[in-house]
Chain A
Amino acid sequence: MSVRNRRSVLAGGVAALAAALSGVRVAGAHDGEDHGAEGAVHHLVTIERFKFEPAELSVSVGDTITWMNADIAPHTATAKDGSWDTGTIKKGEAISITVAPGMTGGYFCRFHPAMKAELEIDA
């Protein structure tokens, strides 16, 4: 596992997430992405009503993806091939992973297998 996990416990919602990630500067309204100093981009995936939003995401190696769970039910984001896994993300929590080579492809929620999404790594 070459991914790096970071767990942020959030009191409430996206505003708190933005505060928790200060220093990483989250998502401007323009395109849902934030370009850091070294060109790495921070992506936010919201889990709400049993859906990953956005369900399809283009990323580059070195970018960070944060999954934030707005549901009462705990979820995970887990690679279909098992190569990476956020672990349990409880209500109001967020977990970040730095994109490593090979993370491209489908992922799902281990607890609710009907929840599916896709990562695409840009060359």
Chain B
Amino acid sequence: MKKLSSLAAAGVAAFLLVSPVAAQEAADLNDLEIAHVAYVADNIDIRYAHLALAISTNPAIHEFARTMIRDHSAVNDQALALLDKLGAEAQDNFLSQALLENADKLVDEMAGLRGAAFDKRYAENELAYHIAVNDLVENTFIPNIENVEVKALFEAGLEIFKAHQGHAEMMVEQVSQ
């Protein structure tokens, strides 16, 4: 478990890229900016999953990656439907930008790996990424979201992402053996 928690700490730091200042600014985002961050975060995980399907030859990694694509797409579909219903549009912001920048670097790094080295890096990143995003969603976003329907969608999303976190832990253990 020690290994997992140090991974988690590294993930949160890498994910937020920065200082307590940025963490505070994340708490100041409005609902439409929060929705944008979540949409971007979903799409980043889908991107990692497509990379895994292209590079990995491990069936368990493929199964996991397909679940990430399926579930994150389902959440994004719900988010778009809700925004449409509310007549609103998600708003780009500094945190979405930071996430994308970080994801670009990670994709570049992982794209250079093959075989077991890729599987290990992918699984570890999935665990760190879900821990970081879940922390952000649970402790920063959900308490600050004003719209009841948006909040409910984030709560349902968090449930899914926590299941992914557990699944990612299993994957990390599996590829480390």
Our pick among B63, B157, B163 for the contact of A50 (Cβ within 8 Å) is B163
A113 and B159: CB pair below 8 A? no
A111 and B67: CB pair below 8 A? yes
Stretch of B69-77, B83-91, B96-104, B143-151 that contacts chain A: B69-77
B156 and A71: CB pair below 8 A? yes
For chain B, the count of residues having a C-beta within 8 Å of the partner chain is 16
B167 and A71: CB pair below 8 A? no
A113 and B74: CB pair below 8 A? no
- A72 at the binding interface (Cβ < 8 Å): yes
Our pick among A49, A71, A73, A114 for the contact of B166 (Cβ within 8 Å) is A114
B71 and A111: CB pair below 8 A? yes
- A91 at the binding interface (Cβ < 8 Å): yes
Instruction: Tell me the chain B residues, 156-170 only, with Cβ under 8 Å from chain A.
Output: 156-157, 159-160, 163, 166-167, 170
- A112 at the binding interface (Cβ < 8 Å): yes
A113 and B160: CB pair below 8 A? no
- A13 at the binding interface (Cβ < 8 Å): no
Instruction: Give the docked Cα–Cα distance between A119 and B23 (Å).
Output: 47
* Size bin of chain A's contact surface: 10 to 19
In the complex, chain A residues whose CB is within 8 Å of the CB of B67 = 111-112
Most chain-A Cβ atoms within 10 A of its Cβ — which of B67, B163, B167? B163
Q: A113-B170, A114-B166 are in contact. Are A72 and B70 (CB under 8 A)?
A: no
Instruction: Give the docked Cα–Cα distance between A85 and B66 (Å).
Output: 18
- A74 at the binding interface (Cβ < 8 Å): yes
Instruction: Give the docked Cα–Cα distance between A64 and B75 (Å).
Output: 31
Write out, one digit per residue, whether chain A residues 65-79 have a CB within 8 A of any chain B CB (1) or not (0): 000000111100000
Q: A91-B74, A111-B70 are in contact. Are A72 and B160 (CB under 8 A)?
A: yes
Most chain-A Cβ atoms within 10 A of its Cβ — which of B63, B157, B160? B160
A74 and B156: CB pair below 8 A? no
Determine how close the nearest CB of chain A comes to the CB of B83; give it in whole angstroms.
15
A74 and B74: CB pair below 8 A? yes
Instruction: Give the docked Cα–Cα distance between A92 and B30 (Å).
Output: 30
Instruction: Tell me the chain A residues, 46-85 only, with Cβ under 8 Å from chain B.
Output: 49-50, 71-74
B74 and A50: CB pair below 8 A? no
B156 and A112: CB pair below 8 A? no
Instruction: Tell me the chain B residues, 29-83 only, with Cβ under 8 Å from chain A.
Output: 63, 66-67, 70-71, 74-75, 78
With A91-B78, A111-B71, A114-B163 known, 15 other A-B pairs at CB within 8 A are: A50-B160, A71-B159, A72-B71, A72-B78, A72-B156, A72-B157, A73-B70, A73-B74, A73-B160, A73-B163, A91-B74, A111-B67, A111-B70, A112-B163, A112-B167
Instruction: Kindly list the 8 A-B residue pairs having the minimum CB-CB distance in the complex, ordered from nearest.
Output: A73-B71, A111-B67, A50-B163, A73-B160, A72-B74, A114-B166, A112-B163, A72-B78
